[in-house]
Structures are given as structure tokens and as C-alpha cells.
Amino acid sequence: MALSPKSPAYEGWKVSPLPLNFDVYLFNWTNPEDFYVGSGKKPRFEELGPYRFREKPDKVNIVWHENNNTVSYRKYAAFYFDEANSKGKLTDRVTSVNTVAHGAALQAINGSYFQKSILRNVLKMYREEVSITKTANEWIFAGYSDPLVTMGSFVSKFATDIVVPFDRVGWLYTRNDSSVYDGHFNIHTGADDLRKMGQINEWNHKKQTVYEGECGRVRGSMGEFFPPNLVPTDSIEIFLQNLCRAVPLDYIETVKIHGITAFKYAATERAVDNGTLYPEMKCFCVNGKCEKAGIVNLGPCQYNSPTYTSFPHFYKADPSYLEAVEGLSPDPLKHEFFMTLEPNGGVPMDVGGGFQANYLMSPVPGMAPFDKIPRTFMPLMWAEERVRVTPEIASQIALVPLIVTLGQVVTGIMLAVGTLLICWYPTKYMSQLCRDPKSKNALLNPIVNGTTRSIALTPLRKPQKEVVSLLGYNQGGEVLQNDVSLSESLLRPSIPRDDVISR
């Protein structure tokens, strides 16, 4: 039966009745003092976590379009910290890459002597280092106050062309309690063809993402529904919005889950290739430059930042990535991205895996402390969700509404990649500050009293921000009134601003 407000699968599609656990792992950098050319030592990391959060998802702003048999919606999610089932506390101190300062230095690398001089003084004034230490809570959802961002906000009061859209920095800051983070989705209901049910039609009102050609074509399942009558030779595709692309999963084997035959699909080397192994994936190279296999450049999807995604612990990646650091141990039992489907109905029965966020640290000549560092892909964090149907649910496999919600795990898996904004957005405007002569005096005067905003932990909530009303238009042209945080609408790395203010 096609998806509709009256279909048996509707309630399970809208709000998952299954408990969803979102596990976050952070990489603590233990020897940043040795990160310079000639030290003879590799960056060493220890994995912390999991920090477990209970996720409560929902679909909102649902609009049905009978003219083309599609439905539009946004995804809302709230996260609650589950300390009892976590291996660590949100107060844990974690050292990671200072992406804000490094990003600012990169942005000024091609600037004039005057521009570089200003930024050099700014970095010195704030005693910026290659690393920065914050609590796990600040790294994940709460965000932290950064002097460079605070300074940018101050200068923007005097330079009208400078915009700093948020007040804190964090990998999943603004993700919690949000319905705009993931963007606007339009999927097929299957009313005209059941094999199209759950397949994405448009994302943010477009059929093409930032990547060229086939690499950027919007396609694949959103994770809840898959075509029926699958055969072992089939491959499936999942659209992952935080990667701005569809990810292929290849058939691996036939397995039994609680006595039911199912097909296991997994993301292989093809999913993280950029043309090195599979020529058809070359369109994921950026400006004609392809890194070694096993990582994907997310620059076009993340404001041209030096951010990359891979499987956790560089699983299935070229050995050079693993050899450049210490403390990582790829394990297929822990780090495989997979989905197991009942082939007759295309029903997800066992889902798991995640992606890792990496940041490319590269030397920036004349910009201490980044002038003598080695070019290294630094692991930051990864996140996963794993859910398997219970024997009770499996015994009622005909009750598709109960089982189909397992596919919602897939949409949560990619929260790890959502962190790949990696504080890059504010560094773009730091570069603008350095290029604006009118801002010179403001730049050379430190900000002493920056605004800091707290975040509650039960449930985790974003700090209160200035809210503006924006008009959005759904697929059918109907006007929707949404209250959207200005900072949130401008920050999202994977959501173009013209999606928030729809044309």
C-alpha cells in the first residue's frame, strides 16, 4: 500500500515507535605539543565514548502532493543524554584540532601582506594553538564560546558587510531540537509505482546537489522504504543529506535474522572512493584533485572547508591515512556501515554503522602556530546508530508499520557527518575581517566580555537565540509560516540559504 495519511505505515513513518540510541565517539588528541615537522612523532589519539543520547525524531510540515504522488516534510529531532548507558560524562575534557584558528589562517593564505599581518596579530593576541580543549558536551551539542567568533560578531556591528550568524561553536550545535538542520525533503509516496515508495524526489527543492553530474543527482531511499522483491544482484542507494549525495550499498550475503531470510547490504570501498578505484566516482574529486581512496572531500558540501568523511578509524581506506596517526584500529565488526533487508517487502531488519569526521591540517606559511605543521588528516569524531528487530517484531513481519521504522536509523547515522561544518563558517568571515581596512582598529582590540549562553542537558536544548519569521513555500506552492532561528538558518552546512527563504 502506498504511503498516505491513512496507510498502515504512516504513523511508524512519521514517528518511530522504536527506541533510537545515538552514540558519539570523540578522538582525544594526547600529544599536540609534538605536532610539527621534524618531531619524529605521529599525532596520537584515544577514542572516548560512546556518549549515548536518546533520540526522539518526528516529521513536521508534512504536505501531500497528489499531482505528482509525492510528500514533502522536514525532520525534527531532540536528543537526551543517557548517562547510565554512556562510557563517559559530558564533563570529560577532550582535546581536538583548533579548526577555527586554522581555518582563518587558510582563508588568509592568498591575501595581501596587510591582511596576513592583521590575522597574524589576532592569532598571537589570543594565543591560539594547534589544539583546543573543551568538554565533551561543548564539542557535541552545547557548543563553546570562541574569541575569534566573538570578535567577528563585534566587528560586524561596525562593518555591515560582515555577518557572523551564531555565537558559539560546536560540531552538532543547532542540530538538537531543530527541524531545519537536515533541510526540506520531497519523496515519492508510491501511489503510481510501489517501487518508488520512499525514494527521494527533491532535496531543498532541487534534483541536483553541489557535486557535478551523476555524483550530485538526488536519488535513493531515505532509509524507511526500499523496493520490494529484491534479488541478490541488486544494489541499493541511500540518500544522505549531510554528504550531499547518495551512498551505494552493495549486496554482501544472505543471512537469517530470527529465522527470517534477509539480504545484507554494506557500504564498500565504492562508497568512499573518488575515482581512484572506481572511475565513475571521479566526480567527487574537487578541482581535479583526488586524494587517495577511502576518504571523500566534503568541501563543496561544507563551504569549501578542508573536511573529509571516511568510515570510522579509516576502515577500508588507503593504509597511508592510518599510518599517519596512532591510536586507531579499524574493525569490520564495529565500523561497517550496513543494512539488512527482508527481500520480499524491502523491509529493514538490521541497521548499523556510521561515518567519521576528519579535518585536513596543512601548513600555512607565515602563520604561527600553523606554519610548521605536517599535512595530516586528523580524525575528530564519529557517531553511529545500531538497531536490530526483536524476535517479537520479526515474528510479525507482515506488520510492516512496526518494522519499517527501523529504517529511520539510517537518517540518524549521518549526524556524524553533520558535524563536518567543523566551525568553518565563522572562519570565512574572519578572512573578510582581515580584508576590510575599516575593521583594522576593531581587530587589534581584544574583546573582553563575550556573550556566553548555556545549554540545558535534560533534555539537551539549544540556547535561546534571536528568532525571525521566514516564509517558506512547499512543493505545491502553498505558503508555510515557520519560526526559524536566524543563526541556525544561516549556519547549516548542507542547507542552502535559499531553501530557508524558498523561491
More confident residue, 150 or 436: 150
Backbone phi and psi for residue 185, each to the nearest 5 degrees, phi listed first: -115, 145
pLDDT for 421-467, tens place per residue?
333 444 444 444 434 434 434 333 333 333 333 333 334 444 333 22
Cβ–Cβ < 8 Å for 153, 167: yes
The pLDDT-based confidence of 190 (bands split at 50, 70, 90) is very high
Asked whether residue 204 carries a pLDDT value surpassing 80, the answer given is yes
Cβ–Cβ < 8 Å for 299, 307: yes
pTM comes to 0.81
Cβ–Cβ < 8 Å for 252, 265: yes
Asked whether residue 387 carries a pLDDT value surpassing 70, the answer given is yes
The pLDDT-based confidence of 164 (bands split at 50, 70, 90) is low
More confident residue, 208 or 453: 208
Give which of 79, 128, 80 is closest to 104, Cα–Cα: 128
Asked whether residue 497 carries a pLDDT value surpassing 50, the answer given is no
Domain ranges of the chain: 10-451
E strands present in 98-139: 131-135
Which contacts of 364-369 are long-range, i.e. CB under 8 A and separated by 24 or more positions?
Answer: 364/102, 364/105, 364/106, 364/109, 365/109, 366/116, 366/120, 367/105, 367/108, 367/109, 367/116, 367/119, 367/120, 367/123, 368/120, 368/123, 368/124, 369/123, 369/128, 369/129, 369/130
pLDDT for 210-219, tens place per residue?
998 999 999 9
Cβ–Cβ < 8 Å for 311, 266: no
E strands present in 16-105: 20-29, 45-65, 70-81, 93-97
Q: By CB neighbour count within 10 A (0-12 exposed, 13-18 middle, 19+ buried), where does 283 fall?
A: middle
Rounded Cα distance, 432 and 108, in Å? 9
Q: What is the pLDDT of residue 165?
A: 57
pLDDT for 242-282, tens place per residue?
889 999 999 999 999 998 999 999 999 999 998 889 999 99
Place of cell 532561528: 485
Cβ–Cβ < 8 Å for 49, 87: yes
Q: What is the pLDDT of residue 286?
A: 86
| Average pLDDT of every residue of the chain | 80
Q: What is the mean pLDDT of residues 230-240?
A: 92
Asked whether residue 335 carries a pLDDT value surpassing 80, the answer given is yes
More confident residue, 34 or 463: 34
Residues 6 or more apart from 6 whose CB is under 8 A from it? none
Most confident of 168-182, 367-381, 429-443: 367-381
What the block records as the C-alpha cell of 441 is 582598529
Cβ–Cβ < 8 Å for 383, 52: no
The pLDDT-based confidence of 69 (bands split at 50, 70, 90) is very high
Cβ–Cβ < 8 Å for 226, 235: no
Backbone phi and psi for residue 101, each to the nearest 5 degrees, phi listed first: -65, -40
Q: What is the mean pLDDT of residues 184-199?
A: 96
pLDDT cut 70: percent of the chain above it: 76
Q: What is the pLDDT of residue 159?
A: 56
Q: What is the pLDDT of residue 402?
A: 46
Q: What is the pLDDT of residue 435?
A: 41
